[in-house]
Chain A
Amino acid sequence: MSTQSNTARVRELIRTPFFWGIVAILALLALNVIKDPSYLALTINETNGNVVGNLVDILRASAPILMIAVGMSLVIATGGIDLSVGSVMAVSGAVSMEFLKGASNTNSVGVAMAAVGLALIVSALLGAVNGVLVAYIGLQPFISTLIMMLAGRGIAKVITSGQNTSASSDPFRWIANGYLIGLPVVFFLAIALVVVVGLIVRRSALGLMIEAIGINPKASRMAGIKPTGLLLTVYIASGVLAGVAGVMSVGTVMTVDISRTGYQLELDAILAVVIGGTSLAGGKFSFSGAVVGALLIATLDKTVLFLGVSSSATPAFKAIVIVVLCLLQSQRVRSWFIQRRRPPTTLSESKAQQPREEVPV
């Protein structure tokens, strides 16, 4: 009896949507350890007490991905998509760098805060444009955000007049490169924001209403949920979170590269959400899944670099991962697996339990 409950527990664990994501992270880390046995080693920098190592790098790199993945989770839960997150990151980075470049006394905390604030306001505006187009005018989400994806990069170029603007500001740099009790500030910031957003949507009816829109917009309207305002909020939230990600990613080098900052990160965000077990059809979301997804992508990025493959080729690997995940989500592939599983179970004596096992997650 006890063995049965154990297998049931294992089965439940396997069915957790992001279980395979964790397995993949461990597999990638194992691959790195095979190549270099000291890969996982963490050392403490004696001068300032910071923890240094590849794992800390992965945590740091996952922060911006985590931000856009959380925004993307919300948007996908409503049955939409936001392809503009990467461009919004570039705009946010461009705004903050231009502001810091023009400002005097850039090392004061107030000026750095103003730069971040301005960047977030502009990002919120871009998100609001997406939201209005989707919610009030009724355009398809992917086409309105596709326009923003390409126009956004143009806007970033106009803001910096085509230059890769650099600036210096110690407090701004601290956000991306600083340490707090030995670990990167960005990671704490990202986790804090995820927790805050998670509490807001899960401790109120907001999350439920967002999911309701994704499941059936008509039915949710009849149940008294007004979709327009919620949709607008969701797209603004996605814009603001992309803005935060933009600040994080330009902060590491204090330069905005208008053609590379946030480039192709919309795929990372979608990938993180899908790895987390969220269906692209909408109707549900899981922030813990998004965290696992973001960590997996950061690990994948580092591994590809570590194995000596050109970084511009990583999209190919990600595309393969996303195709495989989409295939695993599709009914056709699932039915193959069920058919393959059937012969041994019918042979065994536990015939009575079989139908329950067959039900796909």
Chain B
Amino acid sequence: MTILKPLAPQSNVTAETENLWQRISRAVTTNPSVLPTMAAVLIFVGMIVYGEIAYGRILQYNTISNLLINNAHLIILAIGMTFVIMTGGIDLSVGSVIALSSVAGVMLANSGWNPYVVILLMVGIGTLMGLTSGILIQYFNVQPFIATLAMMFLGRGLASLLSTVPERLADESPIRWFGSQFKVIDGEKVNDLVLTPGGVIAVVVLLLAFFVLHRTRTGRTVYAIGGSESSSILMGLPVTRTKLLVYVISGTLAGIAAVVYTSRLGSAQNITGIGWELDAIAATVIGGTLLTGGYGFVLGSGIGALVLGLMNVLITRDGGIRPEMTTIITGSILLAFVLLQRIVTKKRE
């Protein structure tokens, strides 16, 4: 756990450049597992520079703010996934939790339920699904990926039972407020720095997760479980409670992501979120969290989500790459980072 301390300066952008460089090189030499996070930051910067040179109009207010707004749900999902993967587990159900939660939410809101109750219910559906996976995994010894795979199909099936057509959220529904844009900086023409409550939620959740993971007992227990579960039990840490908690956190955040995504899109469908579990895993892995657990950096997951979002922007700008290729490219990036992790962990052994 103490090995992770050198990571902290990385987020401290105000440090002097030479000092920062020294710290970074020391961090890499003392702990090679920060290498993937570094790689993610480098790739993000590299993609921005490449995009700016090749296509232009990347480093400007509206592109950057759209990047945050359009990927707010993915950032939130990746944060939840980071908690789960850090304990050595996996949550494959997040995509269909979003489908179930948003379809149920939109249908209830349209049938005249109080929108604030609906929002709570949407988050609650996620919590419930996460709790179910957690109980299956912790108390009944089901492997995490089987339990969450079952939840994935259960969520998708229940969403399909509710409706198989796109459900449109009423225009005057207060839920849309989360997707409403307000200007922070008024630029020329459409080049404004805008924010949505959804985007703000993503940033707040990210900072909260960083605080919880690095500054609270629960967070340190999450790291400890990933390092060695049996040692954590012997140390007297609340392993059962914490392992249950990470799945509840992941489910709840998927519920919040459903609110954020639905409010931005204004509609929900039972096929929403197919493959998002891979995006969330990819964002987490790109951000430097080891799939075997124990090592990770939640701010890195945020960067990972933005890398994936920026990749989509560049693919759209390029126009030459067919949209069918995106899943292949995401898969290849994930594969590359998993292989990088494999090399790094082998070196440490």
20 A-B interface contacts by CB (under 8 A): A142-B90, A143-B338, A144-B338, A146-B281, A151-B328, A154-B324, A158-B324, A280-B143, A310-B160, A310-B164, A312-B270, A322-B150, A323-B136, A323-B150, A326-B140, A326-B142, A326-B147, A327-B136, A330-B142, A332-B141
In B86-131, the 8 Å CB interface with A consists of 90, 92
Interface stretch (choices A63-71, A313-321, A351-359): A313-321
Find the B residue at minimum CB distance from A333.
B140
For A281, the closest partner residue in chain B by CB is B143
Name the segment of A23-31, A133-141, A176-184, A229-237 touching the other chain: A133-141
Output the least CB separation between A181 and chain B (Å).
Answer: 37
Of all chain A residues, the one with the shortest Cβ separation from B291 is: A143
Tell me if A319 and B325 are in contact (CB < 8 A). Answer: no
A338 at the interface (CB under 8 A from B): no
Q: B145's contact among A81, A319, A331, by CB below 8 Å, is which?
A: A81
Is A247 part of the binding interface, using a Cβ–Cβ cutoff of 8 Å?
Answer: no
The reply to whether the CB of B322 lies closer than 8 angstroms to some CB of chain A is yes
Quick one: which of B141, B145, B164 contacts A142, CB cutoff 8 A? B145
Question: Is B154 close to A, CB under 8 A?
Answer: yes
**B335 interface residue (CB < 8 Å to A):** yes
Q: A140-B292, A330-B140 are in contact. List 12 more A-B contacts (CB 8 A).
A: A133-B335, A154-B325, A281-B143, A310-B164, A312-B160, A314-B157, A316-B160, A320-B154, A323-B136, A326-B140, A326-B147, A332-B139
Complex contact A139–B328 (CB within 8 A): no
Contacts of B149 in A (CB 8 A): 83, 267, 270
Smallest CB separation, B160 vs chain A (Å): 4
Out of A150, A162, A319, which one reaches B153, CB within 8 Å?
Answer: A319
Q: Is A60 an interface residue (CB 8 A)?
A: no
- CB neighbours (8 Å) of A143 from chain B are 281, 291, 338
Nearest residue (CB) in A for B334 is A147
Assuming the A-B contacts A154-B326, A327-B140, A332-B140, are A313 and B160 also in contact, with contact meaning beta carbons closer than 8 angstroms in the complex?
yes
The total of interchain contacts (Cβ-Cβ below 8 angstroms) comes to 124
Do the beta carbons of B145 and A151 come within 8 Å of each other? no
How far apart are B58's CB and chain A's nearest CB, in angstroms? Answer: 25
In the complex, what's the smallest C-beta–C-beta distance from B132 to chain A, in angstroms? Answer: 8
A264 an interface residue at 8 Å Cβ cutoff?
yes
B13 beta carbon closer than 8 Å to chain A: no
Considering only residues 250-309 of chain B, those with a C-beta below 8 Å from chain A are 270, 275, 278, 281, 291-292
Instruction: Report yes or no: A150 in contact with B157, Cβ–Cβ below 8 A.
Output: no
By the criterion CB–CB under 8 Å, are B161 and A162 in contact?
no
A284 at the interface (CB under 8 A from B): no
| Nearest opposing residue in chain B for A147, CB measure | B331
Taking CB atoms, residues of chain A closer than 8 Å to B323 are 162
Give B222 Cβ to nearest chain A Cβ, in Å: 20
In this assembly, does B30 line the interface, its C-beta being within 8 Å of a C-beta of chain A? Answer: no
* Chain A residues, Cβ within 8 Å of B342: 137-139
CB neighbours (8 Å) of A146 from chain B are 92, 278, 281
Of B157, B326, B327, the contact of A319 (CB 8 Å cutoff): B157
Q: How many residues of B contact A (CB 8 A)?
A: 44
B-chain residues with CB within 8 Å of residue A153 when the two chains form the complex: 327
Residues on A facing B (Cβ under 8 Å) = 81, 83, 133, 137-140, 142-144, 146-148, 150-151, 153-155, 157-158, 161-162, 264, 267, 270, 280-281, 309-310, 312-320, 322-323, 326-327, 330-333
Q: Which residues of A contact B145 (CB under 8 A)?
A: 81, 142
Task: Report the separation of the CA atoms of residues A316 and B129 in the bound assembly, to the nearest whole angstrom.
Answer: 13
From B92, B141, B327, B334, contact of A154 by CB (8 A): B327
The one of B146, B153, B325, B339 that contacts A264, using a Cβ cutoff of 8 Å: B153
C-alpha spacing A317/B146, complex, angstroms:
15
Give chain A nearest CB distance to B159 CB in angstroms: 9
Verify if B31 is at the interface (C-beta below 8 Å from A). Answer: no
**B156 near A: Cβ within 8 Å?**
yes
CA distance A153 to B275 in the complex (A): 10
3 closest A-B pairs by CB = A316-B157, A151-B331, A154-B327
B332 an interface residue at 8 Å Cβ cutoff?
A: yes
Residues of chain A contacted by B161 (CB below 8 angstroms):
309-310, 313, 316
Residue from A81, A143, A147, A330 having most chain B Cβ neighbours under 10 A: A147
Say whether B151 faces chain A, with CB atoms less than 8 Å apart.
yes
Asked if A162 contacts B324 (CB within 8 A), the reply is yes
CB <8 Å contact, A319 and B151:
yes
- Contact between chains at B328 and A319 (CB < 8 Å): no
Collect the chain B residues with CB atoms within 8 Å of residue A280's CB. Answer: 143, 146
CB neighbours of A140 from chain B (8 A):
291-292
B158 within 8 A of A: yes
**Which of A150, A157, A161, A313 has the most chain B CB within a 10 Å cutoff?**
A150
Q: Judging by beta carbons under 8 Å apart, are B136 and A150 in contact?
A: no
Does chain A have a CB within 8 A of B242? no
Query: Smallest CB–CB gap between A186 and chain B, Å?
Result: 25
B218 within 8 A of A: no
Residue of chain B at shortest CB distance from A332: B140
**Which single member of B136, B270, B326, B334 contacts A326 (CB below 8 Å)?**
B136
Task: Determine if B62 is an interface residue (Cβ-Cβ < 8 Å).
Answer: no
- The answer to whether A316 touches B139 (Cβ under 8 A) is no
Contact A158 B328 (CB under 8 A): yes
Q: Is the CB of B150 within 8 A of A155?
A: no
Contact string, B313-325, partner A, CB cutoff 8 A, digits 1/0?
A: 0000000001111
Q: With A143-B338, A147-B331, A323-B136 in contact, do A162 and B160 touch (Cβ < 8 Å)?
A: no
B14 to chain A, nearest CB (A): 37
